[in-house]
Amino acid sequence: MTQPYPRHPHPLYHELRAVSPVFESDLGMWVLTSYEACALAFRSPAFGQGEAAKLVRLDPRFEWSAVLQTLGQMMVFMDPPDHTRLRRIVSRAFNPQVITNLRPYVQRVVDELIEPFPESEEVDLVTEFTDLIPVTVICELLGVPHADHEQCRRWSEEIALAIEPAIDDDILRRADVATLAYRDYFTALVAEKRSHPQDDLLTLLMKAEDDGERLTTDELVAMATLVIGAGFETTRNGIAGGVLALHTHPGELERLRQDPALDRPAVDEILRFVSPNQTSVARFALEDVEVGGATIPKGAVVAPCIAAANRDPDRFADPDRLALDRPDRAPLSFAPGPHLCLGAPVARLEIEVAVGTLLRRFPRLQVLDDDPPMRPTCSLGPGPRGPLHLRAIAGRRRHGATGTR
């Protein structure tokens, strides 16, 4: 069984990187901790992700596990040509105009969530704010009725339990129940939208095609499950982690509060500093590859540690300091390359609007936790990491301060 992360993992990452930026762990997995090595794993055709689906199918529980079967159908676990076909189809639905049109809705969601905040009573910014933004936005984008948003959030949290390298049968069965419910729900929703197309992402995904080929119903259901799950963890941890990081860097917090022009560059620096996903989905060496002075053999499982790469001193000066005007930030948080997260523009938009609006609407916001409890994660999994709770007192609100230009 893998061991939990240390409460403050970055000293360990620095130590590992100093000893060896590329090493084989006791479990036989090659761990990458430098920016250069991780960037290579994301961008080089010598690494793929398709073997992950094969390993999932080799799990003796695959025959009865709904969540394992669904994972095996997801685009994130495919290589060309299957990945190329799905990516081309799906990318047409995630076009820049969709993101531009989404901004007013994101702003409205954020405004409605913070409107009830009392001026002098304690609130939990995680459970009352950051947990609610991504699922609401993604569900709205997909065309999920508002009344079903909370149920989708609960299903997503159960499915997320299965995205680890070592899980017991009880957790897997919990994820299976949620997966089957998701499958039934979205199969019915896809059928409804085929009969009554609407102006939403699910309808766009149904209409999008590549050389006359469209997504099947099973592919649409798997894509909807992936979009909600992936967008949920990264965004909620990015927003909550960003607020916490700014609280511990009061000078940067005040600069951001005073200068809306910093909103968009601040998102990259927050993603670099916080790393909402500590590691990426595993890659597989498709050939012998020289990386960081080591030879990773063909077929090896590779774990790029995003959080370590994002604070590599060879790439970023003074990496453990949040600096909103840092030049050439280029964090690896969304795994740039062929498998770049399609939902990255949505996540960036949500972080930008949520953080900027919160800070300017409540100029006297007091975060009460310097060192809050963090979400449990394991050391070799995809490792979403962020505050489990974040207590705060909002203070007197400034009406009309949306935080974005």
Helical (H) or strand (E) element with 84: helix 82-91
Identify the CATH number of the domain defined by range 10-393: 1.10.630.10
The DSSP string of 148-197 is GHHHHHHHHHHHHTT-SSS--HHHHHHHHHHHHHHHHHHHHHHHHHHHS-
More confident residue, 311 or 221: 311
CA distances from 394 to 315, 339, 353 (A): 37, 39, 17
Residue 404 has pLDDT above 70, yes or no: no
Residues contacting residue 281 through CB under 8 Å, at least 6 positions apart: 49, 52, 76, 77, 335, 339, 382
**pTM, whole model, 2 decimals?**
0.90
Q: Residue 372: name the closest of 125, 202, 139, 149 by CA.
A: 125
Q: What is the pLDDT of residues 346-379, one digit of tens each?
A: 999 999 999 999 999 999 999 999 899 887 654 4
CA distances from 382 to 203, 247, 385 (A): 30, 26, 9
Q: What is the pLDDT of residues 43-74, one digit of tens each?
A: 999 998 877 767 777 778 888 888 888 877 77
Count Cβ atoms below 10 Å from residue 304 Cβ, excluding itself: 25
Q: What is the pLDDT of residues 288-318, one digit of tens each?
A: 999 998 999 999 999 999 999 999 999 999 9
- Domain extent listing, the chain: 10-393
